[in-house]
Amino acid sequence: MRLSSAFLTLCAATVAGLGTFAATDATMEKPIPLQVRVQPFKNSDTWEPVTLHGQFSATESAIVICDMWDKHWCAGATRRVEDIARRMDPVLRKAREAGMLVIHAPSDTMGFYKDAPQRQLVLAAPVAKPPTALTIPDPPLPIDDSDGGCDTPGDHEHQAWSRENPILSLAAQDAISDNGEEIYNLLRQRNIHTLFIMGVHANMCILNRSFAIKQMTQWGMRCILVRDLTDAMYNPASRPFVSHAEGTGLVIAHIEKYWCPSTRSADLMAALGHASQGSH
């Protein structure tokens, strides 16, 4: 079904009217396009992408880097993570210039970072009790990842990682944690309300880690997935039998329907560039 541009404009206006995405200061003045999915007719399975524009404060926002490990048990995943890391690091550097907090969250590797000042920064944040979690519908994913989602034959699940991928820069002002409550403490201390979430994997850790989209959304944080800096654990030999890229796209669309909007790294970079100029 193809909807008219006028109808989609109306949908966008309706979605935009549900909430105001305005910064409380003028640090990041350039709006960021946010993509969500709407279901125009409830008796139909058709969902349409709609773009609205959000305006955010760099100092009241943070980047959360989810599970970008040095090595994955799946060789295909390891290759894709390295590609993402190379494209992600310029975003991190620009974010720091604009005054945005960068949080590294490589799960199961805190032992590697136990003496790092970026780790101690998180542990020193005062405890802030999270609010009662929101109850949000959680429909099943559109892909079958029950086989672990690896698309390189012969690989078997085991913990292959020991740290975050070294391609990603770690700055003195960054933070390190793989614990949602620890990260929430730091966010409250810094008066941060918006999280730009990037990393892997969209159908697993990006949704389900204690510091990631589901939990942070349930605690009232505004989460935004950076959709070109993520990947899925999906094997095209499994349902719905599409390419790996198409499977990842299906998961991103699922997140846009039920959990949070997404944006592109280029659009975030553009807004951050404007913010860093305005802060001088």
Does 36 reside within a domain?
Answer: no
Q: How high is the pLDDT of residue 273?
A: 85
* Whole-angstrom distance, CA of residue 158 vs CA of residue 143: 22
Does 182 reside within a domain?
Answer: yes
Of residues 127 and 26, more confidence is placed in 127
Which residues, in sequence order, are bridge partners of residue 175? Answer: 103
Q: How high is the pLDDT of residue 276?
A: 53
Q: And the tokens for 29?
A: 């003045």
- Residues 109-120 have a mean pLDDT of 98
Q: How high is the pLDDT of residue 26?
A: 37
**Cβ atoms 222, 187 nearer than 8 A:** no
Model pLDDT for residues 169-215, shown as the tens digit of each residue: 999 999 999 999 999 999 999 999 999 999 999 999 999 999 999 99
Residue 186's domain comprises 57-278
Does 168 reside within a domain?
Answer: yes
Does 42 reside within a domain?
Answer: no
Of residues 24 and 148, more confidence is placed in 148
The letter for the amino acid at 72 is: H
Question: Which CATH number goes with the domain that contains 107?
Answer: 3.40.50.850
Phi, psi angle pair for 267, to nearest 5°: -70, -40
* DSSP state for residue 134 in the 8-state scheme: P
* Whole-angstrom distance, CA of residue 227 vs CA of residue 207: 13
Position 219 pLDDT exceeds 80: yes
Does 219 reside within a domain?
Answer: yes
Model pLDDT for residues 220-256, shown as the tens digit of each residue: 999 999 999 999 999 999 999 999 999 999 999 999 9
Model pLDDT for residues 121-163, shown as the tens digit of each residue: 999 999 999 999 999 999 999 999 999 999 999 999 999 999 9
Does 192 reside within a domain?
Answer: yes
**SS3 category, 32:** strand
Does 233 reside within a domain?
Answer: yes
Instruction: Please state the domain count of the chain.
Output: 1
| CB contact set of 31 (below 8 Å; sequence gap of 6+) | 53, 54, 55, 271
Q: What is the pTM of this model?
A: 0.90
The letter for the amino acid at 34 is: L
Q: And the tokens for 72?
A: 């994955």
Q: How high is the pLDDT of residue 5?
A: 43
Peptide bond into 274 cis (omega under 30): no
Q: How high is the pLDDT of residue 22?
A: 45
**Cβ atoms 215, 209 nearer than 8 A:** yes
Does 205 reside within a domain?
Answer: yes
* Whole-angstrom distance, CA of residue 265 vs CA of residue 107: 23
Q: How high is the pLDDT of residue 1?
A: 40
Q: What percent of the chain has pLDDT over 70?
A: 88
Q: Could you give the count of Cα atoms lying within 13 Å of 203 in the half-sphere of its Cβ?
A: 25
- Residues 66-77 have a mean pLDDT of 98
